[in-house]
Chain A
Amino acid sequence: MEFLKSNLINTTTQIAVNSNTLSISNIFNRNLDYQYYTDGYNSDLLTASITITFDETTAVSRLSLLEFNAKEFRFFYNGLTANAFSLSGAQTTTSSWVSNSETSMFLRCQTALCSSITFEAKKTITANEEKVLGLLFYSDLYLAMPLLPSANNYNVAWRPKQVVHKLSDGGTRIHNIAKKFELDITIDYADAALRNQLLSIYQLGSEFNFCPFGTDTSWDKILFESVWPGDFDFYEYSDNNLDAGFSGTIRLKETPT
């Protein structure tokens, strides 16, 4: 359960691809209906690459891919293929795959100082298809929650913005505009250090990303840019006990795309 910095990919001028530059803004468009896809790379013998270059050396410790179709692919940084990321908590320890079957994954790695990151995809899960990618996300950590909420206290919903029409025969028609995550997490027994860390997040004054249960297999794909509206109430003592820690609720709402 992690609070993350903004996606380091946020402008097309930092992106270099070897095909279909027209759709490169879709690489960081959080609406997954918009994909980046290669053009003319529908062969498992051809390697497509996406290189993100940063204005300055930047710390990176989280990598994520959503709705992609690569079977054989890798990440490396600073232009050197030898510079693989050292992954933790994943199926592999280096950022290179030869037989992947996941279509979305969230990866944690040792912090690397990067001037650029390259994603290369060669083979696709279904052989010889164009390489497609819904979202590429590079970031660093604000806070990894040392406490997890109970299942009852973890409330997440994917709320649609929609207009529901009642038509003249009583039937219903829905016009969907978008769906956004909303999440309430109630934490008990937070110590003062955690309370202060959460307060820092609350007081950021800018958006941040949240990923509750990121993993490289069977991921629920919940990773969203959010803000924390309303109260910060981690000043209440848990169990009416001054020594038990603090209780409060993290309330997050996804930002516009």
Chain B
Amino acid sequence: MSSPVNRLIKSPNSKIYRRVFIKRRDFITGLFESEWQDISNDVKSWGRITSKVEDARLFKLTFGNMKLVMNNVAGKYGPHDDQNSLWFGYLNQQRTLVKYEAGFYDVVDGANGVKIYTEYPDNTLWDDAFWDADNSLWDADNIQTLFTGIISGDIAINDGNEITFNIKPLNSIFEDFAAKNLTGFTSTGITASQFMNMLRDQTDGAGSYVFRPFFGDTTTNWDISTTTNVFGDLNTSTSELIFDQTAWAVVEKLAEAENAAPYVTRDGVFRFISRDAIVTSTAFEFYGAGSFNSEYGHTIKSVKSYGFKTSKFYSRVRIKYRAEDTITSYEVAETNMAVSGSSNPWILGERTLDIDNPYFATSTAAQAAALELFTEVSALKREVDFETSFVVGIDIFDRISISYDPTLVGVQSLWDQNDWADDFVDTDNDLIWDGTAGEQVFLDGQEFKFLSFEIDLDNLQNKFIAREV
């Protein structure tokens, strides 16, 4: 029997809820109000939630900006100095917190005539057992929340009675803060986790936290794994590594050096944690034309592209981990080229992925990172770009499988061994043209991991790009 949320994902006729909330900042204290304000009823266009991992730099996660278009007939979304505005009496709209929720809901008749209204996924039914045990890195406690961010950018009023808000992901608050303005460095340097703690505990000098208010004003929403490598150059705010960087740029460099993942979860928790090893079982299975599954149903609308991604093949990873440009400043992981049918550098040509990161504490750490990346990029792998109906709850790096065979050709082609082989015994040398293995896309439960996703909340569909495991 399908899990409750799978039943709704595959249902031909399901009900969807979408909500968006804001938290404004007090005009005097500058701090966020305590309760979320639901503004869902005025939404004209919800926008698209996007998230992707950068090609070949797996520590670098990017969350796209969203466009939220509001009906402003009543002037509720006008500037804060307009008394009709929801922001009247509060700070202006910039850096207002925004939270999106969406999912499925179900109403059934319960005992005593009481309707039971349940939203999926929910904390009790959409839990580790269904999705996340395989990949705890991306667990989110409040799975109903799809995105948390802030309003940022120009806000223009037009005579069409609508206002468009640009929504940025929460990590943008670190991008808008110069690292040289951070306080808390020690003369002997600090570890990556100490730097993250420094962000968490950063104050304005008068005891008011700088970043914490965006994360629920609590230390609970900071999940920082302890690291031990001391970065000696992270010893002063005027350090060369810092003075011209944003706080987020430093976070990303440290993450690369520590093989960690820095990101803000969908429900607004800052995380700096070690990357999990690739999991061994799938979080979700996608099925499309020519396939059938009673648990997950048919969710694929189309496969936009599928094939080997030669542009992401590298035969060498070279990390420059010291500022000076000498031979000892590099750590390299590479495949030796050989003229053979099994040597990718020979088949595809030699290509080098160069990374410049002076944050690596030791050559050992740089070597480990180079090897890790090399493992990922040195194999020629396929990627698939596909579109599905509304699926919630899966995330970057989740391992999934795809079954898709849009051709109408049957499994048994006329061009089989009866016509071509010397005998009826199937061998590798037989010329067998299986109808399902021609030039068309044919996926039979192949496993991938997500590199990017887009949740289109207006059209209630998802777009994924996944890479072969």
Instruction: Collect the chain B residues with CB atoms within 8 Å of residue A146's CB.
Output: none
> In the complex, which residues 18-47 of chain A have their Cβ closer than 8 Å to any Cβ of chain B?
33-35, 37, 42
Given A42-B112, A124-B113, A130-B113, A168-B390 contact (CB < 8 Å): no
- Residues A33 and B288 in contact, CB atoms below 8 Å apart: no
Residue B365 is within 8 A (CB to CB) of chain A in the complex? no
Report the nearest B residue to A177, measured CB to CB.
Answer: B16
Q: Is residue A155 contacting chain B, with contact meaning CB distance below 8 A?
A: no
A229-B126 Cα distance, complex, nearest whole Å: 42
CB–CB B115/A167 < 8 A = no
For chain A, the bracket of interface size reads 20 to 34
**Is B389 an interface position by the 8 A CB rule?**
yes
**A169 interfacial by beta-carbon distance below 8 Å:** yes
Query: How far is B302's CA from A4's CA once the two chains are assembled, in angstroms?
Result: 49
Among the stretches B7-15, B163-171, B220-228, the one at the interface with A is B7-15
Chain B 13-31 residues near chain A, CB threshold 8 A:
13-18
The answer, yes or no, to whether B41 is at the interface (CB within 8 Å) is: yes
Interface set, chain A 158-183, CB cutoff 8 A to B: 163, 165-177
Instruction: Tell me whether A171 and B298 are in contact (CB under 8 A).
Output: yes
Cα–Cα, bound, A228→B117 (Å): 32
Pair B18/A177 contact, Cβ less than 8 Å: yes
Report the separation of the CA atoms of residues A124 and B117 in the bound assembly, to the nearest whole angstrom: 21
List the A residue with the shortest CB-CB distance to B41.
Answer: A256
- Docked-complex contact A34 and B113, CB < 8 angstroms: no
Cβ-based interface call for A247 (8 A): no
Asked if A129 is at the interface (CB within 8 A of a chain B CB), the reply is: yes
A174 touches which one: B12, B18, B113, B299 (CB < 8 A)? Answer: B12
Whole-angstrom distance from the CB of A35 to the nearest CB of chain B? 5
Contacts of A132 in B (CB 8 A): 112-115
User: Assuming A129-B112, A175-B14, is B298 touching A169 (CB within 8 A)?
Assistant: yes
Residues of A within 8 A of B115 (CB): 33, 35, 132
Chain B residues lying within 8 Å of A200, measured Cβ to Cβ, are: none
Q: Which of chain B's residues have a CB closer than 8 A to the CB of A175?
A: 14-16, 389-390, 460
For residue A69, CB closer than 8 A to chain B, the reply is yes
**Interface range on chain B: under 10, 10 to 19, 20 to 34, or 35 or more?**
20 to 34
Q: Report the separation of the CA atoms of residues A165 and B115 in the bound assembly, to the nearest whole angstrom.
A: 28
Chain A residues closer than 8 Å to B390, beta-carbon distance = 163, 175
B389 and A173 contact, CB distance less than 8 A = yes
Q: A163-B459, A169-B290 are in contact. Are A176 and B299 (CB under 8 A)?
A: no
Residue from B15, B112, B459, B461 with most neighbouring chain A CB atoms (10 Å): B112
Q: Looking across the interface, which residue of chain A has its beta carbon closest to that of B18?
A: A177
List the B side residues contacting A177 at CB < 8 Å: 15-18, 460
Q: Evaluate contact between B300 and A168: CB separation under 8 angstroms.
A: yes
Which one of A163, A170, A173 has the highest number of Cβ atoms from chain B below 10 Å of its Cβ?
A173
User: In the complex, which residues 107-130 of chain A have their Cβ closer than 8 Å to any Cβ of chain B?
Assistant: 124, 126, 129-130
B404 within 8 A of A: yes
Beyond A124-B113, A175-B390, whether A168 also contacts B12 by CB under 8 A is: no
By beta carbon, the residue of chain A nearest B9 is A173
B107 within 8 A of A: yes
Known: A163-B459, A167-B300, A175-B14. A33 touches B107 (CB 8 A): yes
Q: A167-B288, A256-B41 are in contact. Are A172 and B113 (CB under 8 A)?
A: no
Closest 7 CB pairs of A and B: A256-B41, A168-B289, A168-B288, A169-B289, A129-B112, A130-B112, A163-B460
A and B contact pairs by CB, cutoff 8 A, 30 listed: A33-B107, A33-B117, A42-B112, A69-B113, A124-B113, A126-B113, A129-B112, A129-B113, A132-B113, A132-B115, A163-B390, A163-B461, A165-B389, A167-B298, A167-B300, A167-B301, A168-B298, A168-B300, A168-B303, A168-B404, A169-B288, A170-B289, A171-B298, A173-B14, A175-B15, A176-B15, A177-B18, A177-B460, A256-B42, A257-B41
Other CB < 8 Å A-B pairs besides A132-B115, A163-B16, A168-B301, 11 of them? A35-B117, A130-B113, A165-B461, A167-B298, A167-B300, A168-B406, A173-B13, A173-B14, A174-B12, A175-B15, A175-B16
